[in-house]
Chain A
């Protein structure tokens, strides 16, 4: 995978003394972090390896040059594995996944399924009054946009790898990082698009 190749270069970073003034380079920061962190539970050290997306977004403070963004977004899109058939799972299960903020942290049991933490950042269904505002409101998502196969593909793909659509998006790449399973992502897609879901009432 292209992304992995670019990432490899960062791994070889050596600890260079930081300049007496001025911000340290990415490479120096990486080396310091590698020295200062330790693995804990499922949170292993490879999580500190910056890939191309993280590196470019860090370097450009989330404003990548358009051409580069386009190329890397295309790379990211190639990582998405769309399942065959309908992408609409069980919206009820999706609602629970959207609410849970647990999962993938060092104290979490890796055998237990992770949550999506969607409500941390998005307003979604009317049944939850505590929701974040880091991401856009997804209120009535399917009611406003319909649930055509194209729309299902967009939602599933965005959950799988948000960076394929907007390179420096703050949204995690849930499928690409194996944080959510195929079924969980289908359930979330249903929570947003199924006409029976409270989101669309």
Chain B
């Protein structure tokens, strides 16, 4: 119901909105309105229900934090602490955990191809699209009460300011000062709720530059690639902590993804 209402709002939006805001905003807005993201959700649903692995089980009993199989609003509450795994997990880290425990899959096999491409998106990408879609309209509210959740937030914050890698970059090099651009892309400040909210409200997303659907684990991984560091492990504490820092900073934003990005 919610998704249908959104579509109507989009259709009724006046054509001349671009009078306000920057020229880049106009592009971003138009791109977001014509998003193929939901196509990936269709495939994601099939994957969610498909029995796989040695246990020949689907992911339908996977507990994303709101109980086994409950998807409504689950994404908006991540990352959070999971008692069974005794750690903080974001969506993809949790999906990996479910693949291992429910489906009996080997971690290496499940992680053989965590990031796909336009010709062949990955399982994680399809699943993320399907699951995130079911948090539309929910407020972002990651776990921040458990000590490990606060620890993840603090680690994420520290990582955000850590200058590292061959070229001495930190997250703040690009995302610390308002009004900056990398080539023609406007750079959001990522420790300011005002600028992080619209961003985290629309990831995961269909990314035009990749012509495919992309997730937060990928987004953070790709920042490290451009920071000229070695590669962070998928689902590692580091990546989860950065994700936690960003999501916690965006807390309270209404989720309206999966979105579309440049």
State if A and B touch, Cβ cutoff 8 Å: yes
Measured between beta carbons, the chain B residues less than 8 angstroms from A36 are 232-233, 236-239
B170 at the A interface (CB under 8 A): yes
Measured between beta carbons, the chain A residues less than 8 angstroms from B166 are 43, 47, 104, 172, 177, 179
Report A153-172 CB contacts with B as 1/0, cut-off 8 Å. Answer: 00000000001000010101
The one of B182, B187, B228, B238 in contact with A33, judged by C-beta atoms closer than 8 angstroms, is B238
B158 at the A interface (CB under 8 A): yes
A112 at the B interface (CB under 8 A): no
Shortest C-beta distance, B78 to chain A (Å), equals 19
Interface secondary structure of B, over-half rule: mixed
- 8 A Cβ contacts from A131-180 to B: 131-134, 163, 168, 170, 172-173, 177, 179
Say yes or no: A38 contacts B230, CB within 8 Å. Answer: yes
Which residue of A has the minimal Cβ distance to B173? Answer: A170
Q: How many Å lie between the Cα of A122 and that of B177 in the bound state?
A: 15
| Binding stretch for chain B, among A53-61, A67-75, A85-93, A187-195 | A53-61
Which residue of A has the minimal Cβ distance to B179? Answer: A133
Interface size of B in residues (CB-CB distance below 8 Å)? 42
Q: A20-B150, A37-B230 are in contact. Are A58 and B167 (CB under 8 A)?
A: no
A105 at the B interface (CB under 8 A): yes
- 8 A Cβ contacts from B4-19 to A: none
Measured between beta carbons, the chain B residues less than 8 angstroms from A200 are none
Most chain A beta-carbon contacts within 10 A, residue among B151, B158, B225: B158
B163 at the A interface (CB under 8 A): yes
Say yes or no: A37 contacts B163, CB within 8 Å. Answer: no
- 8 A Cβ contacts from A30-55 to B: 32-33, 35-40, 43-45, 47-48, 50, 53-54
A22 at the B interface (CB under 8 A): yes
Measured between beta carbons, the chain A residues less than 8 angstroms from B177 are 134
Measured between beta carbons, the chain A residues less than 8 angstroms from B233 are 36-38
Report B160-193 CB contacts with A as 1/0, cut-off 8 Å. Answer: 0111111111101110010111111001000000
Say yes or no: A29 contacts B230, CB within 8 Å. Answer: no
B154 at the A interface (CB under 8 A): yes
Measured between beta carbons, the chain A residues less than 8 angstroms from B239 are 36
Q: A29-B162, A36-B233 are in contact. Are A120 and B154 (CB under 8 A)?
A: no
Q: How many Å lie between the Cα of A53 and that of B164 in the bound state?
A: 10
Q: How many Å lie between the Cα of A120 and that of B226 in the bound state?
A: 12
Q: How many Å lie between the Cα of A17 and that of B184 in the bound state?
A: 42
Most chain B beta-carbon contacts within 10 A, residue among A44, A47, A173: A47
B110 at the A interface (CB under 8 A): no
Q: How many Å lie between the Cα of A168 and that of B147 in the bound state?
A: 33
Say yes or no: B228 contacts A47, CB within 8 Å. Answer: yes
Q: A20-B151, A36-B237, A172-B166 are in contact. Are A43 and B229 (CB under 8 A)?
A: yes
Shortest C-beta distance, B119 to chain A (Å), equals 17
Say yes or no: B164 contacts A33, CB within 8 Å. Answer: yes
- 8 A Cβ contacts from A104-144 to B: 104-107, 119-121, 129-134
Given contacts A44-B230, A54-B168, 16 further A-B contacts (CB under 8 A): A36-B236, A43-B166, A43-B225, A43-B229, A43-B231, A48-B164, A48-B229, A48-B230, A57-B163, A58-B170, A130-B184, A133-B180, A134-B180, A163-B168, A170-B169, A177-B167
Q: Can you list 12 A-B pairs with a CB-CB distance of less than 8 A?
A: A18-B155, A32-B155, A32-B237, A50-B164, A101-B183, A106-B225, A119-B183, A163-B168, A170-B168, A170-B169, A172-B167, A173-B168
Query: B residues near A, CB below 8 A?
Result: 147, 150-151, 154-155, 157-159, 161-170, 172-174, 177, 179-184, 187, 224-226, 228-233, 236-239
